[in-house]
Amino acid sequence: MKNKLEQLRQEALKQLEDLKESKSLKNQKEIWRALEIKYLGRKGQLSQILRQIKDLSTSEKKEVGAFANKVKTEIAEAFSEFENKFLSSKAGQSQVDMSLPGKRSSLGHLHPITLMQRELEELFKSLGFSILEGPELESDYYNFQALNIPEHHPARDMQDTFYVNWEDQEDENKLVLRTHTSPVQVRAMQEFGAPLKAIVPGKVFRNEALDASHEHTFYQLEGIMIDKNISISNMIAVMKELLKGIFKEEVEIRIRPGFFPFVEPGIEIDMKCRLCQGQGCPVCKQSGWLEVFPGGMIHPNVLEAGGIDSKKYSGFAFGLGLTRLAMMKHGIADIRLFNSGDLRFLEQF
Ligand code: FA5
């Protein structure tokens, strides 16, 4: 019986020793509990041996009994030492079980409009344009007046906007959410003068009736090039180069006259709708063409507002519909998807 007890002692202490090597705190606790029941529990192995002592002779009882008590104390102490020194101090050091699998945080990605904007920026940079920005909350002066659109002029109806602190304000304090990126034209001229070659990507706002191709908040990319002897054919060449860069193939365009008070002459460059291949759909209003590049030669009044001598310099400007271009590039049939926050849509990019 003494042999059995000795074997049990060695086995219990060995298992505890092995348990120290286990990496998982959660597993360690569970195994420690199971071992404690196995060796020290009422129905455990030690209790079973102790129960047999009563059947031994008196002299054996004394000897084996004393040994059994020694073994029991030793095992019990080893278990409580393991618990105190190992389990609770380990848990005390850190409530975090480093061995558990971590929570994987999913990686986001850039919005399709941002991707489009960056692609356009790279293309324009390769053509020598610099990249500028301007305020989204703009003064009425830069958004309209400096662009040859006085107050009460009917051209204001083309871009219904959101007026901010409009009541009883001096002209320069009247603010609007900018309806286009064109206000940065005059800001850039005033800051950098001529010659000038820059683009201005950014968010613009309009009080619009929404449909598949009209949003209240969308993106444009303004482009200006001012130098001596600049003509409209320079602008058309830049546009064609740009379309080729984006769509990686020759894109069919049409050019028609367009009216904007800040250019003279003004043109609209439309591209063939890539959603319906020119057959007509809700995005192109069944016309087969989508308006994406309005522009023209900068009006002398605008050059003068920017402090540039209109007799010496000429230039073109355009206001590319960046959001619509992204629709064409990716075959997106409804502009409202961009601002929808719908991950099923966004995760495709
Ligand atoms: C303008 O905003 C002028 N500032 C463009 C310009 C710049 C002309 C420089 C001349 C010289 P327009 O209102 O057409 O123009 O808007 C320009 C482009 O923005 C459109 O061709 C279209 O692609 C896009 N756009 C206009 N309204 C919306 C809208 N509600 N939702 C989405 N895209 C729009």
* Distance of alpha carbon 141 from alpha carbon 149, whole angstroms: 9
Give the distance (Å) from ligand 1 centre to CA of residue 198. 18
Residue 321 CB–ligand 1 contact under 6 Å:
yes
> DSSP assignment of 177-230, as one string?
E-SSSTHHHHHHHHHH-SSEEEEEEEEEE-----BTTB-SEEEEEEEEEEETT-
Tens-digit pLDDT profile for residues 304-317: 999 999 999 999 99
Query: What pLDDT is attached to residue 91?
Result: 52
Least confident of 2-6, 21-25, 62-66, 155-159: 21-25
- Output the residue whose Cα is nearest ligand 1's atom 9: 318
Mean pLDDT across the chain: 90
- What letter would DSSP give residue 50? H
Top pLDDT among 182 and 293 is at 182
Asked if 179 contacts 161 with a C-beta cutoff of 8 angstroms, the reply is: yes
Does residue 287 carry a pLDDT above 90?
A: yes
For residue 25, pLDDT beyond 80: no
> What separation in Å is there between the alpha carbon of 287 and the centre of ligand 1?
18
Sign of CA dihedral 77, 83, 86, 92: negative
pLDDT of res. 23? 67
> What is the CA(290)–ligand 1 centre distance, in A?
11
**Nearest Cα residue to atom 32 of ligand 1:** 214
The one-letter code for the residue type at 73 is T
Whole-prediction pTM: 0.73
Regarding the beta carbon of 296 and ligand 1, being less than 6 Å apart is answered: yes
Q: Is the CB of 327 under 6 A from ligand 1?
A: no
Nearest residue (CA) to ligand 1, atom 31: 214
Give the mean model confidence (pLDDT) for residues 140-162. 88
> How many A from CA of 206 to the centre of ligand 1?
10
The CATH number of 112-135+180-346 is which of 3.50.50.60, 3.40.50.300, 3.30.930.10, 2.40.30.10?
3.30.930.10
Higher-confidence position of 143 and 23: 143
Q: What is the CA(101)–ligand 1 centre distance, in A?
A: 51
Query: What is d(CA 283, CA 277) in angstroms, rounded to the nearest whole number?
Result: 12
User: Residue with structure tokens 């074997």?
Assistant: 7
Nearest-5° Cα angle at 281, 285 to 205:
50
Spatial distance between the Cα atoms of 330 and 211, rounded to a whole number of angstroms: 18
pLDDT at 95: 63
Alpha helices in 41-111 (DSSP H): 45-52, 58-81, 89-93
Ligand 1 centroid to residue 222 C-alpha, Å: 10
